[in-house]
Amino acid sequence: MKLSENLTLAEATKSNTAIKYGIDNLPKGQHLDNLIDTAQMIFQPIRDHFNVPIKVTSGYRSESLNQIIRGSKTSQHSKGEALDLDADVFGVITNQEIYEFVRDNLEFDQLIHEFGTESNPAWVHISYSADGNRKQILRAYKNAKNRTQYKIWS
């Protein structure tokens, strides 16, 4: 099933952890509708703008999968509202270019510069909510206890 012209359901739900533990990671109902919206409002405009492959490193996560990976209980991934994207793996564009394009051109709920360096995140987390978007921009980092924290970023 295609969620958008260049993103399939298989790409947006693939999880080695789900495969390893035999977890059903297919969204249903509102979660599937949300994932389609996220693909069409976030992924596809990025793909169309750069016209290069973009890897989804984390898309939809069922509640069971999210628990196993110790994801946030309020993760938008579990609602079908978030994608983690990584273009660096293909070497044509950078994650920073994705980050800047989304920040400057798209409607989004959260845009997170995930780790990496100040000039290029390791990946970009982008969420979209059909119910309204906060346009919140954050930077993920590890604190002194090696726990992930977020700070407002611009």
> Given this model, what pLDDT does residue 149 score?
86
**Structural domain boundaries in the chain:** 2-152
Structure tokens at 82: 């978030």
> Alpha helices of the chain — where are they, by DSSP H?
9-13, 16-21, 29-38, 44-50, 63-68, 95-105
Give 97-122 as a DSSP string. HHHHHHHHH---SEEEEESSBTTB-S
Contact 93, 124 (CB under 8 A): no
> Given this model, what pLDDT does residue 89 score?
83
Provide block-wise average pLDDT over 10 residues at a time, the chain (154 residues): 98 96 96 98 98 96 94 94 94 95 98 94 96 94 88 80
Distance CA 116, CA 123 (A): 8
Match 């989804």 to its residue by tokens: 56
> Given this model, what pLDDT does residue 94 score?
96
Q: Return the CATH number of the domain spanning residue range 2-152.
A: 3.30.1380.10
